A and B are shown apart, each in its own frame.
Chain A
Amino acid sequence: MTNHWIDYQHADVILQFGGNTAENHPISMKWITKAMEKGGKLIVVDPRFTRTAAVADLYAPIRPGTNIAFLGGIMNYCLEKRLYHEEYVLHYTNASSLISPGFGFQDGLFTGAQMNGEQVSYDKSTWAYQTDADGNIIKDDSLQDPHCVFQLLKKHFSRYTVEKVCEITGCPEEKFLEVAELYCSTGKPGKAGTILYAMGVTQFTQGSENVRALAMLQLLLGNMGIAGGGVNAQRGQSNVQGSTDMGNLFHIIPGYMPCPHEKTHPTLKAYNDTSPGGYWENRPKFMVSLLKAFWGEHATAENDFCYDYLPKLDKERSHIASSKYMGEGEIKGMICFADNPAVTGPTASAKRHYQTKLDWLISVDIYENETAAFWKEPGVNPEEIDTEVFLLPAAMHFEKDGTIANSGRWIQWRYKAQDPLGDSKPDLWIVDRLFKAVRRLYEREGGVFPDPILKMNWDYGEEADSSRVAMELNGYETASGALIENFSKLADDGSTACGNWIYSGYYNNETAPACKSRIKETEGIGNNPEWAFAWPLNRRIIYNRASADPQGNPWNPDVPVLWWDSIGLEWKKNDVPDFNANVPPEETKYNAFIMTEEGQGRLFSSGMAEGPFPEHYEPWESPVPNIMSSVQFNPVCTIWYPDSRADVGSNEFPYVCTSYRLTEHYQSGIMTRNNPWLVEAMPEMFVEISPSLANKIGIQSGDMVEVSSKRGKFECKCAVTPRIKSLTVTGGKEIEIVGFFFHWGFMGLSKGPSGNDITPSIGCANTNIPEYKAFLCNIRRTG
């Protein structure tokens, strides 16, 4: 999140887009309720009427997989009716920047497209600013130049007319217009609109572009950096924020630095040379300090701080890719820490089969989950499986010390409440023992490349102590061992070590580290600066320079984040400034977004794989042709399994399928399907369909059905509900939606089919997050 949970209370309009707060983040509904008590409005855009929609002011349906069309339509509405925040757009975004005259867009493709069969790779050279002789970006403050970002943006989204958008999304025109009008009312100075999203935005082949479209809309309306605004990802687990912060994704390492690739980053210099501008100019300091944290005294300037020890990507190693390599026999072993891909992975039944190719599998979990028990799934013959499985019982979160980072980036220390049950152990205990055992093996037997292990700086004590891990993450001076204040003290000469630069400052003293602080604010705007620590630098609202106008007056004086005191000549603060607050406001009015090279929010960006502006393509499996262009599907996606795709408008699989969660169950269900009270409250797997589809195929609520896709099938009960409606789309076609819950599997107290057995193994072109949320299926009655 750019903002945080408590900050919802300041929103005038809350747009719940591709998320379901009431169902999946119920505790935070308190802050939405608070906003609504003050007159705030809640909009829900979702394929079905959710528990959040039940308390919303406005609900609009949407066909799964058409987010960009919907958001593009709102942006067009906003631009056409001039509802954007003009002064904000001019100063804080790159709207006035001129783009290369060679840049263009035609029939679904941006300039630079190089065809490779049906797929495309882009030469991005025209996706660039025009610069003067000194390298400065040329701008047109009148926003009239046809090559300026603003005009290009207007032109691009002018194609997203209300008629087109509603034809694509299936949203009735009057509903769409109500949403556009209400949400764009936050474009006025002093008004705040927040967007809350989750997997209904990200789990698509255009997941990243969907998020980008949200961010662009927020920039146009002046909703970034202000209280009650922002682009707010509601994380599906209490510490999944911490997990990505720590680099638990294939393409990043701690602190959101890119994972080095063997081809493009063969040396530390090559890696550092790819540092972007803006504050990222400091990246070499963060990287060298990370290497010092990893290899301590062995990391020296002479040996590139052991950069060669850092594993490099050889090819894509996403979940989908890794599963494929596992199926092909390339991967021999797998450690699953609190992970249950046998239920949660795309095309899960195939993945369970892939596990048979492993020599060994370690599952660390609080229960024996489906991944660990794949060899005893009903219908599987254990005699035919040679994989050796180790099951390590893990401690629950309240049985161990350490921090979690919530969606609002607040890092909070939690104390152990009770000892772990039986032989179960904290994750740190397990990792520590595992590492030490592996190191002993290398010491005894050598190996191909023992140094990265033998020289690893691993000093967390005889019994690994989580506070010592925290101190390493915070960073210290290598000579004295003294904890550093924050990441502004990091250096690229080896004098500092830091395990994760963005966390720096959260544990900078041993007696009272900020992440252990629990002081509620008595005055302020709900930022509670002394309650835990928010990365970076305890900043609660990112890009907060944009909360005030160019002269430093807050857009909304009722909830000022920061404001310039023109008498005392200083910035007054309700938050840690995200800009240079030692200079007068005029000097930072074009530098409100310090993480970008140009210092401005990007309405045009060359960073995405698909293009500088989001463009609607149909999901990989779609019931209809793309009416925006002749390019049916995201042309830059990697196709992993070409044969497992249903045709466009398939008769065999005529319905759109999507997946979601229930309040009563959690993720793969391991924690909740083993809890009798929760099983009582939601006992079985089921799918949901509309009364019209039920009528068509002769199903009544509670009947057994078979749901199938090109990849598999499952059987479960069916709920017929008016909360799902058919949608009229392109050419008057009626689209029916089948929704399922992905919580079930063959283990636990409540057993049921895994809906992910039928989801496709295709992912976002930028991150490869799987497209769980929109594909084709069939459904028929079985009993």
Chain B
Amino acid sequence: MAKKARLIDTTLCIGCKSCQVACKNWNQLPATQTEFTGSYENPPDLHPEIWSRVRFNEYAENDSVKWYFSFISCMHCAKPGCMPVCPANAISITELGTVRVDQERCIGCALCKSACPFNIPRVGELGDKSVAWKCTFCYDRISNGHITACAKACPTGALSFGDQNDKLAEAEARVALLQEKGHAKAQIYGKDEMGGLGVIYVLADSPDKYGLPVDPQVSLGSYLWNVALRPVKFLATMGITIGVINNLISKRELKNTKNRARHDD
């Protein structure tokens, strides 16, 4: 099957957060407690129960204001930094090109998070263990012929979903049009980054203005881990697993202490 992609035309985005809420709705992710800290942007970060969100990037430029909205979620890279570093081989690429975390295998070590140049996966609880969570690209929907929940909810067509080739062509046409209209900095993001992202952005300005890394790379640490230190990977994995288990035990103890404390109130 053809590799799928999400096209995000930020020049059409109105920051309504329909995508963000639709993601929670479809995946039945409970709301987290947030607070207002000065921006419309909320929640402030990804979280085991927040797989996507909209960034509000506000800039005062001379006499004018720019307010750029950017949807942030797993990029579903063609060469994902997270996959090779996973000690439990829990991360794979599906036939639709989506990057999947197998929570059964996952040991919650969070190496995927540190290897991800976009800082996407988040480790949270699943029953008694910790596992990594992130956008599934609505694999359950798209493998049944539907579009992703975020694309379904977008009112302006800023966020759409389809075959990667089609979406790239659309993005290129759109950038050409924007440049023609005077947006000199209009550009595509995601075509070549990380071997090609499953998320293609049309930007009116440089990627950093949208909170996107200008030249995303797998970190040196991840490279060493993956390539140079492959021989000791198994041993290290054992070490991490034990560490994670220890961590879990202490967390559980902490939780019990907290519960006791609550009962004492």
Interface residues of A (CB under 8 A from B): 22-23, 26-30, 33, 49, 51-55, 59, 172, 662-664, 676-684, 686, 691, 700-702, 717-723
The minimal Cβ–Cβ distance linking A699 to chain B, given in whole angstroms, is 10
Chain B residues within an 8 Å CB radius of A702: 36-38
Q: Mark B224-243, 1 if CB is under 8 A from A, else 0.
A: 00000000000000000000
Contact residues in A for B14 (Cβ distance below 8 Å): 22-23, 26, 29, 51-52, 54-55
* Shortest CB distance B95–A (Å): 31
6 contacts between A and B (CB under 8 A): A26-B18, A51-B15, A51-B16, A662-B40, A663-B15, A717-B36
Q: Quick one: closest A residue to B43, CB to CB?
A: A680
Identity of the chain B residue whose Cβ is nearest the Cβ of A683 in the assembled complex: B34
Residues of A within 8 A of B38 (CB): 700-702, 717-720
Check: B127 CB closer than 8 A to any chain A CB: no
Judge whether A29 and B156 touch: CB under 8 Å. yes
Interface: B21 (CB within 8 A)? yes
B157 on the A face (CB < 8 A): yes
Pairwise interchain contact B37-A30, C-beta atoms closer than 8 A: no
Q: Which 4 A-B pairs have the closest CB atoms?
A: A701-B38, A676-B31, A722-B60, A22-B14
On chain A, the residues within 8 Å of B21 by CB distance are 677-678, 681
The residues of A that contact B16 with a CB separation of less than 8 Å are: 22-23, 26, 51, 663
CA distance A76 to B32 in the complex (A): 53
Q: How far is the CA of A439 from the CA of B105 in the complex (A)?
A: 69
The answer on a CB contact under 8 Å between B65 and A677 is: no
Within the complex, what minimum Cβ distance (angstroms) separates B138 from chain A? 17
CB distance from B65 to the nearest CB of A (A): 5
A53-B65, A683-B36, A723-B65 known, 5 other contacts, Cβ within 8 Å: A22-B15, A679-B34, A680-B32, A684-B36, A718-B38
CB-nearest residue of chain B relative to A172? Answer: B63
Judge whether B209 is part of the interface by a CB distance below 8 angstroms: no
Contacts of A684 in B (CB 8 A): 35-36
A691–B60 alpha-carbon span in the complex (Å): 11
Asked whether B12 is an interface residue with its Cβ less than 8 Å from the other chain, the reply is yes
Report chain B residues within 8 Å CB of A26: 14, 16, 18, 155-156
Smallest CB–CB gap between B112 and chain A, Å? 25
Q: How far is the CB of A385 from chain B (nearest CB, A)?
A: 33
A691 contact set on B, CB distance < 8 A: 60
- If A49-B67, A680-B42 touch, whether A30 touches B36 (CB-CB below 8 Å) is no
Q: B76 on the interface (CB 8 Å rule)?
A: no
Kindly list chain A residues whose C-beta atoms are within 8 Å of the C-beta of B30.
676
Q: Looking at the assembled complex, report how far the CB atom of A58 sits from the nearest CB atom of chain B, in whole angstroms.
A: 10
Q: Are A29 and B31 in contact (CB under 8 A)?
A: no
Give Cα A49–Cα B65 distance, bound, in whole angstroms. Answer: 8
Q: For the complex formed, measure the closest distance between the CB of A54 and the CB atoms of chain B, giving whole angstroms.
A: 4
Q: In the complex the two chains form, is A723's CB within 8 Å of B67's CB?
A: yes
Q: Are A686 and B24 in contact (CB under 8 A)?
A: no
B40 A682 Cβ-Cβ under 8 A: yes
**Residues in chain B near residue A719, CB distance under 8 A:** 36, 38-39
Do B69 and A54 have beta carbons less than 8 Å apart? yes
Instruction: Decide: A33 and B157 in contact? CB cutoff 8 A.
Output: yes
Kindly state the separation between the CA atoms of A691 and B156 in the bound complex, as whole angstroms: 31
B219 interface hit (Cβ, 8 Å)? no
Interface size on B, residues (CB 8 A): 38
Q: How far is the CB of A407 from chain B (nearest CB, A)?
A: 15
User: Hey, which chain A residues are within 8 Å of B4, CB to CB?
Assistant: none
Could you tell me the distance between the alpha carbons of A51 and B39 in the complex, rounded to whole angstroms? 13
Whether B17 sits at the interface, judged by CB under 8 Å, is yes
Report the minimal beta-carbon distance from B57 to chain A, rounded to whole angstroms: 10
- Interface status of B25 (Cβ within 8 A of chain A): yes
B202 CB, nearest partner CB in chain A, Å:
13
A33 touches B156 (CB 8 A): yes
Interface of chain B residues 41 through 90 with chain A (CB within 8 A): 42-43, 58-60, 63-69
Task: Flag whether B103 is at the interface (Cβ < 8 A).
Answer: no
Contacts of B187 in A (CB 8 A): none
CA of A623 to CA of B33 in the docked complex: distance in angstroms?
Answer: 40
Residues of B close to A683: CB separation below 8 A = 33-36, 42
Whether a CB of chain A sits under 8 angstroms from the CB of B11 is yes
Complex interface: chain B residues within 8 A of A55 (CB): 11-14
Check if B98 is an interface residue, CB within 8 A of chain A.
no
- Kindly list chain A residues whose C-beta atoms are within 8 Å of the C-beta of B15: 22, 51, 54, 663
A722 to nearest B CB, angstroms? Answer: 4
Among A27, A172, A679, the residue within 8 A (CB) of B155 is A27
B120-161 toward A: CB 8 Å interface, digit per residue (1/0)?
000000000000000000000000000000000001110000
Residues on the A chain within 8 Å of B32, using CB: 680
Min C-beta distance of A749 to chain B, whole Å: 9
Q: Are A30 and B155 touching (Cβ within 8 A)? A: yes
- Smallest distance from the beta carbon of B42 to chain A beta carbons, Å? 6
State A74–B17 Cα separation when bound (angstroms): 35
Q: Does B20 count as interface, using CB distance less than 8 angstroms?
A: yes
Contact B20 A54 (CB under 8 A): no
Q: For the complex, what is the distance from the CA of A54 to the CA of B210, rounded to whole Å?
A: 14
CB distance from A352 to the nearest CB of B (A): 25
Q: In the complex, A22 Cα to B12 Cα: how many Å?
A: 10
Q: How far is the CA of A29 from the CA of B14 in the complex (A)?
A: 8
Contact with A along B1-28 (1 / 0, CB 8 A): 0000000000111111110110011000
Name the residue on A nearest B12 (C-beta).
Answer: A33
Of B18, B34, B43, B58, which contacts A723 at CB under 8 A?
B58
Cα(A721)–Cα(B17), bound, Å:
20
Select from chain A the residue with minimum beta-carbon distance to B174: A37
Q: Contacts A702-B36, A722-B65, A723-B58 hold; do A681 and B156 have CB atoms under 8 A apart? A: no
- Output the nearest chain A residue to B64 by Cβ-Cβ distance: A59
Q: How far is the CA of A259 from the CA of B119 in the complex (A)?
A: 63
Kindly report which residue of chain B lies nearest to residue A700, judged by CB atoms.
Answer: B38
Q: How far is the CA of A684 from the CA of B34 in the complex (A)?
A: 9
- The answer to whether A682 touches B42, judged by C-beta atoms less than 8 angstroms apart, is yes
> Considering the chains assembled together, what is the distance between the CA atoms of A680 and B30 in angstroms?
10
> How far is it, in angstroms, between the C-alpha of A717 and the C-alpha of B31 when the chains are bound?
22
Cα-based distance from A172 to B63 in the complex (angstroms) = 11
- The CA-CA distance from A554 to B265 in the complex, in Å, is 78
**Closest A residue to B66 using CB positions:** A54
Query: CB distance A679 to B31 under 8 Å?
Result: yes
Measured CA separation A702–B20 after assembly (Å) = 23
Please indicate the chain B residues that have their CB under 8 angstroms from the CB of A701 in the complex: 37-39
Tell me which residues across on chain A come within 8 A of B12, comparing CB atoms. Answer: 33, 55
CA distance A433 to B144 in the complex (A): 47
Which residues of the partner chain A approach B11 to less than 8 Å between Cβ atoms? 55
Tell me the bound Cα distance from A717 to B34 in angstroms: 14
Q: Which residues of B contact A172 (CB under 8 A)?
A: 63
User: Does the CB pair A722–B58 fall under 8 Å?
Assistant: yes
Q: How far is the CA of A542 from the CA of B63 in the complex (A)?
A: 40
Q: How far is the CB of A289 from chain B (nearest CB, A)?
A: 40
Contacts of A53 in B (CB 8 A): 65, 67
Report the separation of the CA atoms of residues A26 and B66 in the bound assembly, to the nearest whole angstrom: 19
Q: Which residues of B contact A676 (CB under 8 A)?
A: 30-31
Q: Chain A residues near B24: list those with CB within 8 A.
A: 677, 680
Could you tell me the distance between the alpha carbons of A125 and B32 in the complex, rounded to whole angstroms? 65
Bound form: Cα–Cα A676–B17 in Å: 14
